[in-house]
Amino acid sequence: MFNRRKFIKLSAAGASLSVVSTDILAKTSATTSHSDSLPIVISTWDFGIAANQEAWKTLSEGGRALDAVEAGVKIPEADLNNHTVGRSGYPDRDGHVTLDACIMDEKGNCGAVAAMEYIAHPISIARLVMEKTPHVFLVGEGATQFAVEQGFKREKLLNSESEKAWKEWLKKAEYKPTINIENSKGIPGNQYNHDTIGMLAIDAKGNISGACTTSGMAFKMHGRVGDSPIIGAGLFVDNEVGGAVSTGVGEEVIRNVGSFLVVELMRQGYSPEAACKEAVQRIIKKKPETAKQIQVGFLAINKKGEYGAYAIQKGFSFAVCDQSKQDLLINGKSFY
């Protein structure tokens, strides 16, 4: 189990650091939440609670963070009521369910799949790409082919509910390649488009891993890939510093290499929340008018187990699970 005394020492080191420099003080002035023990797992949105609890089974028994995050995000991937991740995800505008996922471990190893059809657990395929191939990223039919070779079942993922929603959308859909045309019901992050799961865990040994999986923006163009499977955009882990994940309109996260940015800011002394806030502000500064209409949220954890989040719009929640509480849900702060 985690050494509490060591944690207190680390916290004290963090505290004295913030006294030394006013610059660092500014960077760490955002609220800093932390667990008083490791292991810990955090993930995006309210369905992160159930996913965290699954990850916790591995973490609480001294298991590896990598195994925990894979097991955790498989819960929403398998959930038929969840139309934004895995099985029963909303399709693209041509009716294909295409899935994106990536995973990263404490050694900097990573694997990803994108625009993959017919396989219900993209996170497991991402892990197999990492562990069994010389590559990092497989896409489309090649990813499906690899999954089948690895023993995964090729199956139809579009269920009747998702098909109904797609047909409903088609009634008004304009077929032009306009980004965010799918957001006819409000800001991106509406009922069609939020709920990508990004998960970060620190195990009892203090090692960090992360996973991110999604069916992407609902009714996207066929072939469109968002930030979620892109290492550095949807997820980044550096075992010396911490990890970050993102959710929301992936195009803006990719443009700003969002999760890598958050981790690099934490390396410079920013608290997790302050780092997420700065990454959100970068997106807003570059495209202020676009930013008013979209949702992007970042969630981060540092090596000490301190965590934080920040989003453009209200409504971004994240779940936290550690020894003291396994069903904590926190409303992330936002710019608007």
Min dist. Cβ of residue 228 to ligand SD4 (A): 5
Rounded to a whole number of angstroms, the CA Rg of the chain reads 19
Which three-class secondary structure state does DSSP give residue 130? helix
Of the candidates 77, 182, 203, 227, which one interacts with ligand SD4 according to CB under 6 A? 227
Q: With contacts defined by CB under 6 A, how many residues of the chain interact with ligand SD4?
A: 14
Question: Between β-strands 110-116 and 137-139, what pairing exists: parallel, antiparallel or unpaired?
Answer: parallel
Within 10 A of 150 (CB to CB), how many other CB atoms are there?
A: 13
In DSSP terms, 317 is beta-bridged to 331
Return the number of the residue (32 or 247) whose C-beta is nearest ligand SD4.
247
Q: Is 217 in the site for ligand SD4 (CB under 6 A)?
A: yes
CB of 319 to ligand SD4, least distance (A): 15
| 302 phi, psi to nearest 5 deg | -105, 175
228 belongs to the binding site for ligand SD4 (CB under 6 A): yes
CB of 250 to ligand SD4, least distance (A): 2
Measured distance CA(260)–CA(245) in Å, rounded:
9
CB 253 within 8 Å of CB 276: no
d(CA 35, CA 56): 14
Binding part of the chain for ligand SD4, among 16-24, 125-133, 170-178, 191-199 by CB under 6 A, reads 191-199
Which one, 10 or 296, has the nearer CB to ligand SD4?
A: 296
226 binds ligand SD4 (CB under 6 A): yes
Residue type, 138: L
Q: Which residues are catalytic?
A: 196
Q: Which stretch binds ligand SD4 (CB under 6 A): 69-77, 118-126, 154-162, 212-220?
A: 212-220
Q: Between 14 and 258, name the residue whose CB sits nearer to ligand SD4.
A: 258
User: Containing H/E element for 116?
Assistant: strand 110-116
CB closer to ligand SD4, 83 vs 194: 194
The answer for 214, left when phi > 0, alpha when psi is -120 to 50, beta otherwise, is beta
Min CB(229)–ligand SD4 separation in Å: 9
Residue of 249, 253, 265, 266 whose CA lies nearest to 306: 266
Q: Which is nearer to ligand SD4, 255 or 267 (CB)?
A: 255
Q: Does 196 bind ligand SD4 (CB under 6 A)?
A: yes
Which residues are near ligand SD4 by CB under 6 A?
Answer: 193-196, 214, 216-217, 226-228, 247-250
